[in-house]
Amino acid sequence: MGIVRTVGISAGIVVSLLIVMAFFVTEYDDARLASVEAWYEYERNRLTVAIYLTDSNGDYTKANGDAEITIEKDLLTVYSDKYNFVKDDFVTWKDNFGNKKTAYVIDIRQFFSSGSHDVFVDLNTKELQWEDLHASFYSLE
């Protein structure tokens, strides 16, 4: 009876340790919402696209994934490229109002002619996908 009890207790401890180890090894991205912002600096021919991810609490978060960015003017594609990112690629800063922001920031060094442009982003993370996230910017020539 003592050996069966010892084996049962040992098996229970091993299963418990495996569950704890699986918990620490598994990594979940908690990105629930995504948004995009874009601004263009005409003097520098630089478009900045910021991709924000927020978790279920509404806080900024980071994730691993990829993004496809398409920029259109008058329904014509003027730029398209794909980007892969990891959590370490995200940057954090304070805006003009002192609010802390975290985003994956892409700088596109290209001239965009005068007028309104639409930025569309298809975004994939480990757990979720977003299609046609939209931002606009206006270029002055």
What local confidence, expressed as pLDDT, does residue 2 receive?
52
Residue 134 lies in a domain: yes
Q: What percent of the chain has pLDDT over 70?
A: 79
Residue 25 lies in a domain: no
What local confidence, expressed as pLDDT, does residue 3 receive?
52
Query: What does the alpha-carbon distance between residue 115 and residue 29 come to, in Å, rounded to a whole number?
Result: 37
What local confidence, expressed as pLDDT, does residue 42 receive?
87
DSSP letter string over the chain?
A: -HHHHHHHHHHHHHHHHHHHHHHHH-------EEEEEEEEEGGGTEEEEEEEEE-TTS-B----EEEEEEEEETTEEEEEEEEEE-GGGEEEEE-TTS-EEEEEEEEEE----SEEEEEEEEEEESS-EEEEEEEEEEE--
Q: In the chain, how many domains are there? A: 1
The 10s digit of each residue's pLDDT in 13-67 is 333 333 333 333 333 457 889 999 999 998 899 999 999 999 988 899 999 999 9
Q: Are 104 and 67 in contact (CB under 8 A)?
A: yes
CATH of the domain at 77: 2.60.40.10
Residue 105 lies in a domain: yes
Residue 95 is part of which domain span?
Answer: 33-139
Residue 1 lies in a domain: no
Query: What does the alpha-carbon distance between residue 141 and residue 22 come to, in Å, rounded to a whole number?
Result: 56
Residue 12 lies in a domain: no
What local confidence, expressed as pLDDT, does residue 18 receive?
32
What local confidence, expressed as pLDDT, does residue 77 receive?
96
Query: Per-residue pLDDT for 5 more than 70?
Result: no
Residue 121 lies in a domain: yes
The 10s digit of each residue's pLDDT in 80-96 is 999 999 999 999 999 99
Query: Per-residue pLDDT for 104 more than 90?
Result: yes
